[in-house]
């Protein structure tokens, strides 16, 4: 065991058992926090530290099928619980993720299923270590010093609810005389800004930012924020999670789907852009990576990797294209050019102008390649598709709306529905309704023009990949018919102007016709049953409010409808620029722009901020900028954090409410990210809550907090008779299970699940903690829910979702040209966006690329996740930390030689935004592109026990009790948690936008690939 871990856990154990306080004693009896014996000073033997996976029922253990949340991939898990403690996690063989798309039959009896083992990854295996971390919080905290001072004290539950609900001079005892707003002040339909009522009511002053959130809790929190309080501002973190590739798919599908990937089961060739398929991804490494590796070994599949850093999968890849960071778009556009130039496109598919023609030719989704676009700046509909009503205003609405094409050899434009084959590469002048000519081009022609805007040599120079290699990979991609597709992920487009890079990458699939095709580019197939409707209406309720106005992140909001725009126009200007960007065309979940909006009080000021499992100071590139925002009561008058720990961000909170881990109570219904699958995984608790309880015995957690706040404020949707049923009855919502068990009943009903037999019901009732609440459901519903719980969800076989080679749950249309995108604007310049994929230079909000920085800051930082560590939270994962307890500054060996560096040297990385920089140890490697430094993202913490805190009565607060906190209230800091470096701490800030983190101006994608740094040697390698 590493020295640091030996230190903390040896100390923890000694102090824990010496402590003798009531809290510590109770914890000892009930939870057995994560400690090791003295004998564990010797190296860990995996056979000693973890039980084998359960393969048969054991009289002294419970076995629970549930869904993992150690990362967001949502694999099934089988938890083994002994004496109330989770001791092992393995896979769930009913779940297709754990069985590489080939699970055991759904009607396999539960008892028999236990004989089948299936894998989970190391992150899941560390779940017990994580949930029993001695640094977990048990009771609510209130700040007892200035914001950010790290001083807290416990607060009683009723006081917590009253203070958050009502506000007041809550910190006068600390010398802060200001009035702190409570939620009650926000329950008003008066405008939040009387000068601009379109921004919505005062209710929008509540901003609820969510970190890791999945279906189940998402619906519960939305019920409170959007429908009870009525705020627009429940904003997720999709932007930092991976908005880049999703924006490409958002454009390709026109917002219908964002999770598209190559089919790992039947693809012949996969081009992997910026995805660490053997170590991360959704679906996770047990699924996607394992399938790719296994099919590659069997000679069924080939793949190539595009990444500045050679991922582990590169060892099996046909090619490694070491692209320059942020230039994946140039590479994809070069491939498009090559495919067009050499005729390696699927003309039969692209020329089919309507769904009937597409089906007749045996393809899965209409592509709008042949549809005509108005390309005439004088026309009011410039950039829109030419529709029949433009040619003939007398047509009825349906006929008038039909898009227009040229038939293959036709000279006059016709309705797209009227032809079997369309001209693909065409531009023309046609007469509009007034008799004037207007110029039109096919969507394909527009794409071709964009691709031909640069030569192959230029593209090769821009993206840093040899032209011959680009051409070879493009030819290979186009040589597998519809069984070639891309899998793109965070690296592909998570940077400024990443929308167009990801759109170009997604468009490659359209050019070969592989969208919706077996072995091609597929969405997930959705879930089974409908959680929020059917037997119980969990979506709407009497008195529910409809949130309106503009989100503080300005996502999905049209700037041109704002008072700011009108005011600027009235003053004689163009209306542009807006003060900060607005994002009409985005998937949304823009937590970075939400925080920037809070910082600038734009378009209005936030009053009450909730952060849920959200650590922006650590997790956002340039998030260090927001420490001052969170510390400022004028910008964040009240901050309530819900979390399992004190982290780098809620250090600035006024209140911290402890939450449950996923193993204890993140109820949920989890649908696939995976291509070609349809399922709903059911997550129910494996163990009882580890947090303290309210005076009436409910566990302290997100749901209990929101229920009690809503009840005190008499908000609709919670408390007495809040849940309507299909028969006209009403049911109370007083605890989490009132909501989730009814959602499970809805799913079972919608998915037509048959009732479980007596044996399975007896097993669930004996082994699943949720069964303590079985009285919420009538018997018949409970029996059906039991069958689902016993299997960890509802799962359909892969083959059920195909008719021949066509995926029946796929996209309705593939947008090679996106009209909505083309009609929206960059609100800082007023310029319209391109409607097709195009190469766009990565640049800041002022349009400056980063070339000026390169003389002083010659290296570009790229980040990645390893297979062992999970975002920011795995520092509590003992086994992962045993294997890797710090990250490195990974540099190409040639760069190291030039700088006189060797592996182990300590260096400083400094950027123009953070000249003081961050430090770490060098790893020389040939697996990183020269000119780049790769830093994995998990390390360099100052929260979670890595930094100082002072907490009154701390032995009652932390799960480890007196083992982790002294009598003086000072936390026992674990120095090992602070090892390594966090690359986000050196990320560039945008000087044009108030030194806030840089974002893509189309979709709001934060930048992970543009930071330039210089590298200074500090200390030579320590032996």
Residues at the interface with ligand SF4 (CB under 6 A): 68, 70-71, 73-75, 120-121, 123-124, 284-286
Given a contact cutoff of 8 angstroms between Cβ atoms, the answer to whether 848 and 403 are in contact is no
- 650: phi then psi, degrees, rounded to nearest 5: -75, 0
Residue nearest to ligand SF4 (CB): 284
**Three-state DSSP class for 862?**
strand
Which of 58, 166, 52 shows the shortest CA–CA distance to 119?
A: 52
C-beta of 284 vs 676, nearer to ligand SF4: 284
Residues sharing a CB contact under 8 Å with residue 696, sequence separation 6 or more, in sequence order: none
Give φ, ψ of 961 to 5 degrees.
Answer: 55, -140
Backbone phi, psi, residue 473, to 5°:
-70, -40
Task: For tokens 């108030």, name the residue.
Answer: 994
CB closer to ligand SF4, 126 vs 268: 126
If the CB atoms of residues 66 and 514 are measured against ligand SF4, the closer one turns out to be: 66
Q: Which residue has the tokens 């600390």?
A: 174
Q: Minimum distance between the CB of residue 902 and ligand SF4, rounded to whole angstroms? A: 34
Give 124 or 225: the residue with its C-beta nearer to ligand SF4: 124
Kindly state the smallest distance separating residue 763's Cβ from ligand SF4, in Å. 23
HSE, CB side, 13 Å, CA atoms: give it for residue 438.
Answer: 25
Minimum Å gap between C-beta 121 and ligand SF4 is 3
Three-state DSSP string of 234-267: EECCHHHHHHHHHHHHHHHHCCCCCCEEECCCCC
Least spacing, CB of residue 75 vs ligand SF4, in Å: 3
- Closer to ligand SF4 by CB, 277 or 446: give it: 277
Burial class (CB in 10 A: 0-12, 13-18, 19+), 83: exposed
For residue 71, the minimal CB distance to ligand SF4 (Å) is 3
CB of 124 to ligand SF4, least distance (A): 4
Taking the CA atoms of the chain, what radius of gyration do you get in angstroms?
28
Length of the chain: 1023
Q: How far is the CB of 865 from ligand SF4 (least distance, A)?
A: 11
Residue 73 C-beta: closest distance to ligand SF4, Å: 4
Measured between alpha carbons, how far is 965 from 959 in angstroms, rounded to an integer?
10
CA dihedral 235, 239, 245, 246 (to 10 degrees): 10
Please say which residue, 284 or 519, places its beta carbon nearer to ligand SF4: 284
DSSP secondary structure letters along 916-929:
T-EEEEEEEESSB-
C-alpha closest to that of 814 among 330, 334, 363, 337: 363
Question: Based on CB atoms, which residue is closest to ligand SF4, 142 or 212?
Answer: 212
Q: How far is CA 432 from CA 378, 387, 411, in A?
A: 12, 10, 16
- Comparing CB distances to ligand SF4, the nearer of 78 and 784 is 78
Nearer to ligand SF4 by Cβ, of 121 and 761: the residue is 121
Query: Shortest approach of ligand SF4 to residue 80 CB, angstroms?
Result: 15
Work out the end-to-end distance of the chain between its first and last CA atoms, rounded to an integer number of angstroms.
19
Q: CB of 490 within 8 A of CB of 246? A: no
Cα distances (Å, whole numbers) of residue 824 to 300, 562, 827, 985: 43, 14, 9, 33
Q: Which is nearer to ligand SF4, 875 or 986 (CB)?
A: 875
Question: Which residue lies nearer to ligand SF4 by CB, 121 or 927?
Answer: 121
Closest approach, Cβ 122 to ligand SF4, in A, equals 7
Q: To the nearest whole angstrom, how small is the minimum distance from the Cβ of residue 662 to ligand SF4?
A: 9
Which of 534, 654, 544, 475 shows the shortest CA–CA distance to 228?
544
Residue with Cβ nearer ligand SF4 (70 or 473): 70
CB of 226 to ligand SF4, least distance (A): 28
* CA distance linking residue 990 with residue 1009, whole number of Å: 14
């Amino acid at each position: 065991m590493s020295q640091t871990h030996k230190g903390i856990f040896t100390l923890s154990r000694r102090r824990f058992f010496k402590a003798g306080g009531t809290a510590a004693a109770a914890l000892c009896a009930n939870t057995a926090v994560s400690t090791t014996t003295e004998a564990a000073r010797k190296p860990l033997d995996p056979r000693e530290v973890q039980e084998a996976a359960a393969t048969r029922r054991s009289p002294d253990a419970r076995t629970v099928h549930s869904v993992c949340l150690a990362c967001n991939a949502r694999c099934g898990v089988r938890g083994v619980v002994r004496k109330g403690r989770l001791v092992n996690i393995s896979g769930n063989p009913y779940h297709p993720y754990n069985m590489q798309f080939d699970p055991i039959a759904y009607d396999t009896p539960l008892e028999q299923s236990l004989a089948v083992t299936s894998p989970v990854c190391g992150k899941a295996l560390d779940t017990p270590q994580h949930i029993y971390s001695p640094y977990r919080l048990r009771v609510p905290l209130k700040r007892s010093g200035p914001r950010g001072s790290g001083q807290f004290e416990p607060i009683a539950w009723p006081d917590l609810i009253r203070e958050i609900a009502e506000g007041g001079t809550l910190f006068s005892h600390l010398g802060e005389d200001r009035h702190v707003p409570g939620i009650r002040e926000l329950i008003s339909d008066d405008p939040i800004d009387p000068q601009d009522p379109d921004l919505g009511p005062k209710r929008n002053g509540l901003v609820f930012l969510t970190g890791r959130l999945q279906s189940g809790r998402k619906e519960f929190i939305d019920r409170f924020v959007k429908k009870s309080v009525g705020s627009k501002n429940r904003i997720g973190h999709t932007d930092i999670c991976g908005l880049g590739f999703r924006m490409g798919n958002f454009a390709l599908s026109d917002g219908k789907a964002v999770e598209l990937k190559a089919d790992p089961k039947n693809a012949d060739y996969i081009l992997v852009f910026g995805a660490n398929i053997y170590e991360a991804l959704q679906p996770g490494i047990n699924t996607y990576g394992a399938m790719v590796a296994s099919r590659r070994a069997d000679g069924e599949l080939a793949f190539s990797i595009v990444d500045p850093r050679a991922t582990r999968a590169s060892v099996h890849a046909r090619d490694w294209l070491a692209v320059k960071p942020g230039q994946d778009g140039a590479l994809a556009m070069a491939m498009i050019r090559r495919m067009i130039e050499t005729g390696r496109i699927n003309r039969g598919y692209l020329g089919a102008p309507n769904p009937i023609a597409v089906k007749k030719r045996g393809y899965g989704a209409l592509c709008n390649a042949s549809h005509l676009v108005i390309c005439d700046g004088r026309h009011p509909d410039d950039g829109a598709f030419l529709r029949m009503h433009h040619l003939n205003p007398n047509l009825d609405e349906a006929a008038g709306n039909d898009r227009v094409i040229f038939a293959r050899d036709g000279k006059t434009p016709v309705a797209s529905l009227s032809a079997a084959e369309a001209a693909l590469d065409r531009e023309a002048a046609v007469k509009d309704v007034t008799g004037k000519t207007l110029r039109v081009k096919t969507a394909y022609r527009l794409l071709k023009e964009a691709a031909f805007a640069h030569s192959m040599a230029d593209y090769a120079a821009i993206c840093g990949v040899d032209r011959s290699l680009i051409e070879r990979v493009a030819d290979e991609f186009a040589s597998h018919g519809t069984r070639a597709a891309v899998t793109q992920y965070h690296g592909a487009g998570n940077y400024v102007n990443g929308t167009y890079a990801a759109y170009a990458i997604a468009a490659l699939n359209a050019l070969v016709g592989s969208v919706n095709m077996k072995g091609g580019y597929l969405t997930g197939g959705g879930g089974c049953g409908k959680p929020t409707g059917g037997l119980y209406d969990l979506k709407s309720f009497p008195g529910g409010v409809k949130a309106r106005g503009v989100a503080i992140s300005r996502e999905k909001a049209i700037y041109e409808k704002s008072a700011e725009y009108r005011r600027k126009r009235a003053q004689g200007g163009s209306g542009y620029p807006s003060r900060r960007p607005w994002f009409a065309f985005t998937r949304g979940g823009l937590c970075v722009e939400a925080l920037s909006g809070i910082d600038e009080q734009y378009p209005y000021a936030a009053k009450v901020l909730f952060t849920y499992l959200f650590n922006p100071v650590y997790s956002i590139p340039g998030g260090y900028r927001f420490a001052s925002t969170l510390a400022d009561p004028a910008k964040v008058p009240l901050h309530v954090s819900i979390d399992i720990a004190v982290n780098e961000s809620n250090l600035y909170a006024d209140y911290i409410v402890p939450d449950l881990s996923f193993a204890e109570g993140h109820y949920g219904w989890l649908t696939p990210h995976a291509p070609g699958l349809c399922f709903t995984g059911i997550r129910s608790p494996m163990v009882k809550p580890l947090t303290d309880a309210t005076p009436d015995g409910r566990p302290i957690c997100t749901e209990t907090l929101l229920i009690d706040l809503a009840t005190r404020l008499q908000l609709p949707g919670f408390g007495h008779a809040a849940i309507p049923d299909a028969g006209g009855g009403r049911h109370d919502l007083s605890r989490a299970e009132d909501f989730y068990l009814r959602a499970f009943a809805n799913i079972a009903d919608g998915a037509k699940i048959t009732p479980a037999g007596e044996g399975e019901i007896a097993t669930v009732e004996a082994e699943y903690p949720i069964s303590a609440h079985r009285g919420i459901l009538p018997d018949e519903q409970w029996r059906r829910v039991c069958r689902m719980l016993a299997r960890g969800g509802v799962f359909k076989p892969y083959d059920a979702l195909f008719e021949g080679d066509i995926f029946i749950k796929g996209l309705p249309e593939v947008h090679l040209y996106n009209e909505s995108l083309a009609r929206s604007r960059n609100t800082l310049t007023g310029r319209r966006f391109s409607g097709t994929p195009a190469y766009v230079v990565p640049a800041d909000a002022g349009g400056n690329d980063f070339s000026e920085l390169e003389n002083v800051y010659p290296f570009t930082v790229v980040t990645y996740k390893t297979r062992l560590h999970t975002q920011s939270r795995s520092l509590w994962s003992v086994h992962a930390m045993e294997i890797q307890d710090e990250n490195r500054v990974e540099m190409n060996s040639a760069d190291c030689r030039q700088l006189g560096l060797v592996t182990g040297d300590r260096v400083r990385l400094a950027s123009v935004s953070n000249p003081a920089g961050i430090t770490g140890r060098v790893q020389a490697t040939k697996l990183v592109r020269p000119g780049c430094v790769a830093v994995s993202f998990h390390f360099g913490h100052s929260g979670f026990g890595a930094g100082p805190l002072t907490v009154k009565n701390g032995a009652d607060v932390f799960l480890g009790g007196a083992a982790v906190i002294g009598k003086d209230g000072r936390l026992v800091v674990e120095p090992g948690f602070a090892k390594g470096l966090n690359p986000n701490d050196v990320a560039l800030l945008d000087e044009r936008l108030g030194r806030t983190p840089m974002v893509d101006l189309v979709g709001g994608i934060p930048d992970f690939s543009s930071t330039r740094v210089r590298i200074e040697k500090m200390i030579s390698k320590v032996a």
